[in-house]
Structure 1
Amino acid sequence: MSIEFDSTSLAATEEFLNRNYTTMRIGNDTSGPVRSTVVRERLGDVNLDRLDLGFDMSYDAEPLGRICLCEVETGWVEENYHDAGTDYFGSGEIAVLTPPDLPYSGVIHTARYRITMFDPADLTRVAEVEAGIPVELTGHRPVSVAAGRRLAATLAHLRQLVGDYNGQVPPLVAATATQFLAATVLDTFPNTASAELTATDRADAHPAALRRALAYMEGRVHDDIAVGDIAAAAYISVRALQLAFRRHLGTTPMAHLARLRLQGAHEQLTDGKGATVSAIATDWGFGHPGRFAALYRRHYGRSPAATLGDRPDPPDTAG
C-alpha cells in the first residue's frame, strides 16, 4: 500500500513525519512558504520514499530504528553525525542518513531526495557473522564511487519491481530483493562484518556439514531463508558454511539457492499446465521477467518461453 502526502502547512508536515518516521520537531529555516510532498511505496518491509521539500526544513529527531539510505536528486542535505560532525550531501550523492539507534538532526535545504529504510537485522541475516552478533555500519559514505553507483542501481531496481507489480510484490520476490539490498549495502559502506576465518571454521567446512546445508535448502527452496538460517541448520558458523560451498561446490550458499529456484522454475516450465512465464518466475522468487529470462537462457541455452511452448502433444487415447 502506498502513502501520499502534499501540504503547505508546517504543522501538518511535522505531524505526518511523526506518524510515519519517528518523533521529531521541525522548523522552517527560510522566510518563504512551506511546501512538502511525500510519496511512499513498500517492497515487503522496505520503505521506498520520495520527498520534495520546497523550503529549508530543520529537524531534531529521535532514533529511527531503521537503516536509512538517502539519495539526493536536487538541493542538498546537511546531517549532524555524533561521531563524524556535520556532513553535506548534494545532487547525485548517496549516504546513510542516520545511525538507526541514535537521535539525529540537520537541515534539508530545499531538496528533492529519496529515502530507503529497512530493518538493521536484514544486514545480519546476509552477513558472514555468527548468530546473535549484530552487524553495524561504521561509516555513512560509500567506500568508493563505484560502490555508490552499484547501490544506486540496486535501489532503482527495487523501485522498478514495485512498479512492475503495481505495488503488490509477492512475498518471496520481496524477501529476495531485500536480501539483495542488504548485501549491496554491506558491500557499499564500512561495517563490522569483515573478519578472518578461524581454524574451527576451516575444520567445520567438511562434506557432512555441506550435506546438511543442502538438505535444508532443498526442503525450503520456496521459503524466505538467508545464509544465517542455512548455517544454523548445518550446525556450523556462517563463515564455515561459505568456505564449505566454495571448497566443495565452487559457489556460495545464496548462489546455490538461486540455482535451485531456477531449476524449480525450469521443471515447472517444462511441465507447463497453463501457467505463464511471468507467473512461474514470480512463483520461484524471480521478480524481473527480463533478468529471469537472461539467467534462464544462460543456464539452459534457450528462452523460458521456448521451454514453456515446447510441450509434447497429449497421448492419443482413441481406441
Structure 2
Amino acid sequence: MSVVFDSDDLERTEEFLSKSYAPMRIGSGGRDAGAHITRVASDSVSADQLDLHFEMSYDVSPLGRICLCDIETGTIEDHQAAGWPHPADFGPGDLFSFAPPDRPYSGRICRARYIITMLDPDVLARVAGVEKPVELLDHNPLSAAVAQHLRGAITYVRDQVLAAPDIAEHPLLVSTATQHLAAAVLAAFPTTALDERAGTDLDAHPRALRRAVAFIEANPERDLTATELAQAAGVSARAVQLAFRRHLDTTPMAYLRRVRLDHARAELRAATLGETTVTQVAARWGYTRPSAFTAHYRAAYGELPSQALQDTGFSA
C-alpha cells in the first residue's frame, strides 16, 4: 500500500494522522499548517516520511506498535511517553523509539522532516524466539553503529520492498524483509528478549521434562495443548519444547503421538478379531485418516496395524 497526503488544513492533517497511527489531538499556534506525508505499508510494517512546515503539538493514544523516529531536519521537543521520568528533545541525526506500544505520548514537532517506522510487536517476539512481548528497555539505541545499521534496514524495507510494486505483492519477500528489520531493532536497543531466552534455556531442565512426560503418559487420550504441557511442567511452553529437543531429540507433540501409538498397538494386540477394527482403534487415538495412522504405525513398529489385529485391512 502506498499513500501520499498533502494539506495545509490542521483538521485534515489530524484526521489523517489519527487514521494512520492512533487517535490523537494536534495543535498549532500559527496559520501555516503545511504537511506532506508519504506512506508505504504492509500488514506488519509501515514506513512514513513526514515533512511538517509548522510547529505542531501532539497528544497521542497508544499505538499498539513499535514506533521508531529518525529525524532529518528540525526538532522534536518536550517529547514524553507515559512512564518516562523526564521529557526529551531530539534533533537531526537522532533515531529513537517514540513510545512503548501500550503507552500514550505527547510533545511538540518544530518544522521537522522525519521518518516514522512502525512494526508489529509480534514480529519482534517471533524473531527473538520468545513468547512474551519484547519490550525496549531504552528509547535510545545502544550505539551510533547499531543505529546506523538499523537506519539501513529501515531504508531497505521502505525503498526496496514496500515501495517496489513487484516486490511488495509477494508476501514471503515482505515477511523476510520485515524479520530482517525486527532483527535490526533487537540488535539496536536493549530489550527483555535476552533475559527471557536465558530463563527459557535454564528452565529446560530434566525435571521439567519428567513432569511433562508424566503428564502426557497419564493423559494420552486428551487433546493436549502446549499451554497445558507447560503448566504441568511448571515452565514456559518454549522451555518444554527446548527440553524435549535437548534431552529426547524430539518434540512434545511427536512424543505424544508415539505414546498414543503404543496404546493403540496394545489395544490391537488385545482385541478380538471380528469385534474390533483398525479404523475404530485409530479413531480412538486421534486419527481421523486411517492412512495416516498406518503410515505412523509402520514407521514406529515396522509392521502394519492389521498385522497386530491379524486382519487384512481396514473394515468399517
Q: Normalising by structure 2, what TM-score?
A: 0.61
Q: Given residue 74 of structure 2, which amino acid in structure 1 is its aligned partner?
A: G
State the partner residue of 1:237: 239
Q: 3-state SS of the aligned residue for 1:98?
A: coil
Alignment of 1:123 with 2:95, yes or no, is: no
Q: Separation in 1 of the partners of 2:93 and 2:59? A: 25
Q: 3-state SS of the aligned residue for 2:98?
A: strand
Q: Separation in 2 of the partners of 1:18 and 1:47? A: 15
Q: 1:167 to 1:236 in 2, by over 3 A?
A: closer
Q: Given residue 13 of structure 1, which amino acid in structure 2 is its aligned partner?
A: T
Q: Separation in 2 of the partners of 1:65 and 1:123? A: 13
Q: Given residue 112 of structure 1, which amino acid in structure 2 is its aligned partner?
A: R
Q: Separation in 2 of the partners of 1:56 and 1:15? A: 17
Q: Separation in 1 of the partners of 2:73 and 2:239? A: 44
Asked if structure 1 preserves the Cα contact closer than 8 Å seen for 2:74 and 2:110, the reply is yes
State the partner residue of 1:190: 190
State the partner residue of 1:70: 69
* Cα drift, residue 187 of structure 1: 1.0
Asked if structure 2 preserves the Cα contact closer than 8 Å seen for 1:40 and 1:47, the reply is yes
Q: 1:93 to 1:166 in 2, by over 3 A?
A: farther
Q: How many residues align?
A: 212
Relative contact order, higher structure (CA 8 A, sep 6+): 1
User: Deviations 1:67-87 (Å, cap 9, x if unpaired)?
Assistant: 111111111112113324211
Q: 3-state SS of the aligned residue for 2:204?
A: helix
Which sits farther off after the overlay, 36-45 or 59-68? 36-45
Q: Given residue 239 of structure 2, which amino acid in structure 1 is its aligned partner?
A: S
* Cα drift, residue 202 of structure 1: 6.7
Q: 1:44 to 1:60 in 2, by over 3 A?
A: closer
Q: Separation in 1 of the partners of 2:202 and 2:17? A: 49
Q: 1:93 to 1:52 in 2, by over 3 A?
A: same
Asked if structure 1 preserves the Cα contact closer than 8 Å seen for 2:40 and 2:163, the reply is no
Matches within 5 A, 1:149-298: 149-159=148-158, 160-166=160-166, 168-195=168-195, 196=198, 198-201=201-204, 237=239, 240=242
Asked if structure 2 preserves the Cα contact closer than 8 Å seen for 1:2 and 1:167, the reply is no
Q: 3-state SS of the aligned residue for 1:138?
A: coil
Q: 3-state SS of the aligned residue for 1:38?
A: strand
Q: Please, what is the CA RMSD of the aligned residues?
A: 2.6
Q: 1:117 to 1:71 in 2, by over 3 A?
A: same
**What is the percentage of aligned positions where both structures have the same residue?**
43
Q: Given residue 126 of structure 1, which amino acid in structure 2 is its aligned partner?
A: V
* Cα drift, residue 168 of structure 1: 2.9
Q: Separation in 2 of the partners of 1:105 and 1:152? A: 24
Matches within 5 A, 1:108-147: 108-129=109-130, 131=131, 133-147=132-146
Q: 3-state SS of the aligned residue for 1:92?
A: coil
Q: Which ranges of structure 1 fall in alignment gaps of 5 or more residues?
A: 205-234, 249-319
Q: Separation in 1 of the partners of 2:63 and 2:94? A: 21
Q: Separation in 2 of the partners of 1:238 and 1:165? A: 42
Tell which structure's C-alpha radius of gyration is larger: 2
Q: Given residue 49 of structure 2, which amino acid in structure 1 is its aligned partner?
A: R
State the partner residue of 1:48: 47
Q: Separation in 2 of the partners of 1:145 and 1:192? A: 21
* Cα drift, residue 32 of structure 1: 4.8
Alignment of 1:16 with 2:16, yes or no, is: yes
Q: 1:117 to 1:236 in 2, by over 3 A?
A: closer
Q: Separation in 2 of the partners of 1:203 and 1:169? A: 46
Alignment of 1:4 with 2:1, yes or no, is: no
Which sits farther off after the overlay, 35-44 or 194-203? 194-203
State the partner residue of 1:92: 93
Q: 1:239 to 1:157 in 2, by over 3 A?
A: farther
* Cα drift, residue 9 of structure 1: 0.7
Q: Separation in 2 of the partners of 1:69 and 1:202? A: 38
Q: 1:183 to 1:203 in 2, by over 3 A?
A: farther
Q: Which ranges of structure 2 fall in alignment gaps of 5 or more residues?
A: 208-236, 250-316
Q: Given residue 170 of structure 1, which amino acid in structure 2 is its aligned partner?
A: H
Q: Normalising by structure 1, what TM-score?
A: 0.61
